[in-house]
Amino acid sequence: MKNYLFTFLLFVVSFLSGQENYTINGYIADANDGESLIGATVFIREISGGNATNVYGFYSITIPPGEYTIEYRYIGYTTQIKTISLRTDQRMDVELVSDQVVLEAVVVTAEPEDVNVSGVEMSTAEMSIETIRKIPSFLGEVDVIKSLQMLPGVSSVGEGSSGFNVRGGSVGQNLVILDEAPVYNTSHMLGFFSVFNPDAVKDVKLYKGGIPPKFGGRIASILDIRMKEGNSKKMEANGGIGSIFSRLAIEGPLKKERSSFILAGRRSYIDVLAKPFTDALDGGAALYFYDLTAKANYNFSDQDRLYLSGYFGRDVFNFDESQGINWGSKTLALRWNHLYNQRLFSNLTFFVSDYDYELAFGDDNLDRFEWSSNITTLNFKSEFTYFINPESELTFGGEVIKYQFEPANAKGVSLGEVTKFDLPNKHALEYALHVGNEQKIGDKTTVLYGLRFSGYDFLGPGNYFEFGDTLAGFRPSVDRVSTAKKGVSIQNYLNLEPRVSMKYSLTTSASVKASYNRTVQYIHLISNTTASNPLDIWTPSTNNLQPQIGDQVAVGLFKNFKDNDFETSAEIYYRETQNQSDYIDGAELFINEEIEGDLLSGIGRAYGFELYAKKNEGRVTGWVSYTLAKTELKIDGVNFQENQETREGKWYPARYDQTHNLKVAAFYELNARTSLSANFSYLTGTPTTFPTHRYEVQGMTIPENANDSRNNLRIPDYHRLDFSITRQGRKVSKKGKVRKNQDSWVITFYNLYNRKNPFSIYFAQQDERYQPGELPVTEGRQVSILGSIVPSFTYNFHF
Amino acid sequence: MKKLFLPFVVAVLFSGCEDVIDPGLPEADDPIVVDAWLYRKAEPQTISITRANAYFDQNTPQGISGATVNVYDADDLSSPLPFLEEEPGKYVWNPINPSDSFGSVGQTYVLDIELNGDHFNSVSSMNRVPKVDSITWRLEPENAFFDDAYFGEFWARDFAGEGDVYWIKTWKNGEFLSKPHEIFIAYDAGFSEDGNADGLTFIQPIRDAMNPFDQDEDNNFLPPYKDPLCENGLSTLPREELDSAYVEINSITYEAYFFLFQVQLQTNRPGGFGELFSTPLANSNSNIFSDDSDQKIVGFFCTSAVSGLGRKFDCDAVFED
């Protein structure tokens, strides 16, 4: 495989070095603060083509010598037109001016991009941070993940779930990367807020399908979040004071226009505010989260840029000084951009990521229980882009990830007697090589094709198990426990992941796109609870637990109307997955070394139809997105219904299967300083399992589902309306001076019509003391996490 | 307790919104319920066979008559211990001498039920059980959930040898603590196989199994046991007003331990925000199997050896650290 790649490269390089072409390249940045612009268009009129900047703001176009007129465009910025006479390689770094400048009249933006029609990407959703800021949010806190849920194909099972679902995939099937480093738990406070501080985020892109070869490792989606570099021209402070938490971000140059940094932090204080109102928080009890996002970068030369970014965040629930639970992540990434020559751009990343959670209870050192678990990864990634010519771009690279899983470090102290119950660590290595080519063929067709070759080793030191046979759904016995030494490969998996996407232009404003990708996922998020939560366990593939494999096909039609004022698209997708996990009844996932024995394996399928219509211009803007979809699993031992003897499973809906998913987002510019926004969500109720009977054994009343079915009914539908008003502060003070502080006030009403959206339905007996012979009363109960309107008030400032 | 602690606490800190609803339930054929838990005690042992009721039906389940119920010692399959029907659905074994107990430790027992031509079978063993050495009470200082209160704990030590499993039952003032969160099972002296607690004194959270946690109308926790109000080492309360506790350790089989573990998951529902951490509804697997695979059987067969100790909560029962 490696030889093939090298030969191919040599061929390309030698073929092209014979041509007499020259390269225009450079970085495109914001004139105001020096932030590089991702996805900015460089359009060369004479060839009716060009390129877009990559995630670092870099572009490169190689063409024959001549006179050219180049348009540099980016949505929200004024287009710049430059004429050049190309006789030699030229470096053109460009700064674009934002046109979100004060105007008394309605703000006019630059001509909207038609990239949704002309680009070969499909099944992606890109949201600018400006749009994210406008969406009314829970407690007035702008949220990246919640905003993405307003797009087709993206949903969640409701408040309280610490993740999101993409095209019928589970929460653990999304890869979320922050400046290339993976984030294992993307939420604070059980899903109410995401870990991404909007003051530090520059760009958010979600790949739901048509995943390019440079990404891999998860089945359902890739969420690529890029942080700002920090204002390289002057110091800037952004922040907000809200009802639940406050934020402050400071950014500025370390060396003007060469080096900058950004430091953004948030801390919640609801526990401090609530203290006078409840005594549940006396005695050292605390409930808060904080996060710190930091980045620094240095442009050594025209060819070299170095970036260092980090994230540190934590959620804390303490019952008193010595008892409580907490969890959090730390990541650190070091990246180096290097231009090998005018056309070869490379990025090398080295990062470390740690996600851990701990639980402690017991008042003193004589009687105590402490448990912690974590997953640490070390990753090295290299990515090369070779800008061959305006019609063709080659990407290639590789990645190595070293995992260390500590499933449990636990200690119990009883009367001073210490018992340790640590589970041994697990180790794994995941690696991949990828190559891809984006090729324009003629005027109308673009194809992106490539191959990702991925591999995985479950490594020693550690134990591994072989289980006996059993009827599906029952815990098998352990036949053998073996130990592997350090570095020995206990199990190896190798996979080829072909990727192909294509676009065909029907007209200048309409195109049809299709894609196929195979993705493989080697680590699994194990959860047997109703919704994912921070205590869910990441577990590696082993000799028993096989990697998940997904094959997705998508076809879409994209059409823009009225000069890109309206964007519409319709897309259908179908994804089949293998090696999907579910659990035996009564699975023990907490401190269980033989956890694989409690897992059942089967297949899944998800398919759907997504419709999207967006209005970009005018005083009223916004979008409507509707998804009709189904996601189901077929696993022996689960939902076997009448197959009582073989226990062969029948197809059943996944816990996050939501048939209808309708989202409407609307923004209205009332005047130059005031804007209103609203969003409406409607989701079909998620599936759940109901009992049919009850029976008594030794005084215990036990529920029974005599149909042996799973997720056979649905909880009631979810719908919610949010509304917010944003009022910008004056730009010019009453005395006529320009105000240094650009501030705004935001009032938000979440769940405007007060609906108690159900989260789950469970069945239990009433909590009474029953006399012997008296039978308990059993009830069905519907749980809502949020049952009322939540108003909030936030003050944002910007210096 | 430890895995239930988290949902318990979350539920207390945030009372989420919860409404009682009356949904329509799907239909299915009624399973047969066999409750065959036999104890080594000097009293009659009952196996009950009934029809399961629909989930919201609170009526006494209907007994199934006409079954032939026998339990055999696996060493002597020719002499069954007969269980004779005394009331519809209740099949009773009476000891020949009033001081005889059912079964002996170390033996394996086979259950055979013949009903309408079908046979239901199961196997259980009667395992060893340690003595309850003593019961004491301690004063716990105020914390986030309780004011100063007395907590009781029983003292016993697990046998050396991995894999002893137990079910711990408590009676407070003669009343059996039967709420779902009061089902306590132990693996050796801890909660589970990975607990590494073989041969130890039962760990603190298990010793505390004997404490009921009830709430008053304002959702404040009531102290588990009544303060004996000691002065100079003697209680100022009349003897009849003192609380008493009786703790029983029952030995069970590994299958029974797993069954009770599943029952805990299914019946001990935290409610409110705690539902974020709870598992979906699932069946608790029975160890009784029918020849006819279409007939669903629920329930369990287990033979338990028992040891118990009772104590009145008087001033001499208070254990100072």
Q: What share of chain A is helix, strand, coil (3-state, %, to 5)?
A: 5, 55, 35
| Of residues A371 and A779, more confidently modeled | A779
* pLDDT score, position B15: 47
Per the CB < 8 Å rule, is A705 touching B214?
no
> CB neighbours of A301 closer than 8 A, spacing ≥ 6?
none
pLDDT tens by residue, A142-168: 888 888 888 899 998 887 777 899 999
A48: exposed, middle or buried (Cβ count in 10 Å: 0-12, 13-18, 19+): exposed
pLDDT tens by residue, B123-143: 999 999 999 999 999 988 876
* pLDDT score, position A693: 96
Per the CB < 8 Å rule, is A769 touching B179?
yes
Per the CB < 8 Å rule, is A529 touching B143?
no
Say yes or no: A424 contacts chain B, CB-CB below 8 A: no
What number of other Cβ atoms are within 10 A of residue B296's Cβ? 22
Closest CB to A699 among B2, B33, B176: B176
Q: Yes or no: say if B165 and B254 are a contact pair by the CB < 8 Å rule.
A: yes
B195: exposed, middle or buried (Cβ count in 10 Å: 0-12, 13-18, 19+): buried
| Of residues A411 and A65, more confidently modeled | A65
* pLDDT score, position B45: 95
How far apart CA A327 and CA A162 sit, in angstroms, is: 13
Q: How many CB pairs under 8 A join A and B?
A: 265
Q: Which residues of B touch A695 (CB under 8 A)?
A: 31, 33, 50, 52-53, 61, 298-299
Per the CB < 8 Å rule, is A693 touching B53?
yes
* pLDDT score, position B16: 57
Give the DSSP H/E element, type plus range, for residue B207.
Answer: helix B204-207
pLDDT beyond 80 at A476 = yes
What is the overall mean pLDDT for chain A? Answer: 87
How far apart CA A321 and CA B144 sit, in angstroms, is: 11
**Interface probe with B: pick from A358, A414, A708, A710, most Cβ of B within 10 Å:** A414
Closest CB to A778 among B55, B183, B294: B55
Per the CB < 8 Å rule, is A785 touching B53?
no
Q: Which residues of A touch B193 (CB under 8 A)?
A: 592
Say yes or no: A364 contacts chain B, CB-CB below 8 A: no
A221-227 and A201-207: which strand pairing?
antiparallel
pLDDT beyond 90 at A114 = no
Say yes or no: A105 contacts chain B, CB-CB below 8 A: no
pLDDT tens by residue, A325-376: 888 999 999 999 999 988 899 999 999 999 998 888 776 676 677 888 899 9
How far apart CA B131 and CA B171 sit, in angstroms, is: 17
> What is the pLDDT confidence band of residue A102, given thresholds at 50, 70 and 90?
very low
Per the CB < 8 Å rule, is B294 touching A644?
yes
Say yes or no: A785 contacts chain B, CB-CB below 8 A: yes
Q: Which residues of A touch B176 (CB under 8 A)?
A: 699, 772
* pLDDT score, position A419: 75
> What is the pLDDT confidence band of residue B4, given thresholds at 50, 70 and 90?
very low
Per the CB < 8 Å rule, is B5 touching A361?
yes
Per the CB < 8 Å rule, is B293 touching A319?
no
Lowest-pLDDT choice from A116-120, A637-641, A678-682, B142-146 = A116-120
How far apart CA A335 and CA A340 sit, in angstroms, is: 16
Say yes or no: A690 contacts chain B, CB-CB below 8 A: yes
Residues of chain A above pLDDT 90, percent: 49
Say yes or no: A707 contacts chain B, CB-CB below 8 A: yes
pLDDT beyond 90 at B214 = no
* pLDDT score, position A116: 66
pLDDT beyond 50 at A111 = no
Burial call A344-361: b when 16+ CB within 10 Å, e when fewer: bbbbebbbbbbbbbbbbb
* pLDDT score, position B321: 60
**DSSP assignment of A503-523, as one string?**
EEEEETTEEEEEEEEEEEE-E
What number of other Cβ atoms are within 10 A of residue B84's Cβ? 11
Say yes or no: A372 contacts chain B, CB-CB below 8 A: no
Q: Which residues of B touch A712 (CB under 8 A)?
A: 26
pLDDT tens by residue, A383-425: 999 998 888 999 999 999 999 999 888 887 766 677 777 888 9
Q: Which domains does chain B have, with CATH numbers?
A: 32-127+284-304 (2.60.40), 134-251+308-318 (no CATH)
Q: What is the mean pLDDT of residues B46-60?
A: 94
* pLDDT score, position A732: 81
Identify the CA nearest to A193 among candidates A133, A268, A259: A268
Q: Which of A71-85, A488-502, A516-530 has the highest mean pLDDT?
A: A488-502
* pLDDT score, position B320: 73
Q: Yes or no: say if B47 and B67 are a contact pair by the CB < 8 Å rule.
A: no
How far apart CA A4 and CA A395 sit, in angstroms, is: 15
A764 CA: distance to closest CA in chain B (Å): 6
Per the CB < 8 Å rule, is A592 touching B192?
yes
> What is the pLDDT confidence band of residue A497, given thresholds at 50, 70 and 90?
very high
pLDDT tens by residue, A439-459: 989 888 999 999 999 999 999
Q: What is the mean pLDDT of residues A765-782?
A: 89
Q: Yes or no: say if A630 and A650 are a contact pair by the CB < 8 Å rule.
A: no
Polymer length of chain B: 321
* pLDDT score, position A360: 83
B185, two tokens: 């099972």
Say yes or no: A418 contacts chain B, CB-CB below 8 A: no
Q: Which residues of A touch B23 (CB under 8 A)?
A: 690, 713, 761, 780
* pLDDT score, position A377: 93
Q: What is the mean pLDDT of residues A182-186?
A: 86
Of all residues in chain B, the one with the smallest CA distance to A774 is B60
Q: Yes or no: say if A93 and A165 are a contact pair by the CB < 8 Å rule.
A: no
pLDDT tens by residue, A648-701: 999 999 999 999 999 999 999 898 889 899 999 999 999 999 999 999 999 999
Residues of chain B above pLDDT 90, percent: 60
Closest CB to A190 among B176, B276, B321: B276
pLDDT tens by residue, B64-90: 999 999 999 999 888 899 999 999 999
pLDDT tens by residue, A702-714: 999 999 898 989 9
Q: Which residues of A touch B35 (CB under 8 A)?
A: 696-698
Per the CB < 8 Å rule, is B37 touching A287?
no
Q: Which residues of B touch A691 (CB under 8 A)?
A: 25, 55, 281
B46, two tokens: 């009952």
Q: What is the mean pLDDT of residues A101-108?
A: 35
* pLDDT score, position A2: 56
Q: Which of A3-7, B290-294, B305-309 has the highest mean pLDDT?
A: B305-309
* pLDDT score, position A154: 92
Say yes or no: A727 contacts chain B, CB-CB below 8 A: no
* pLDDT score, position A274: 62
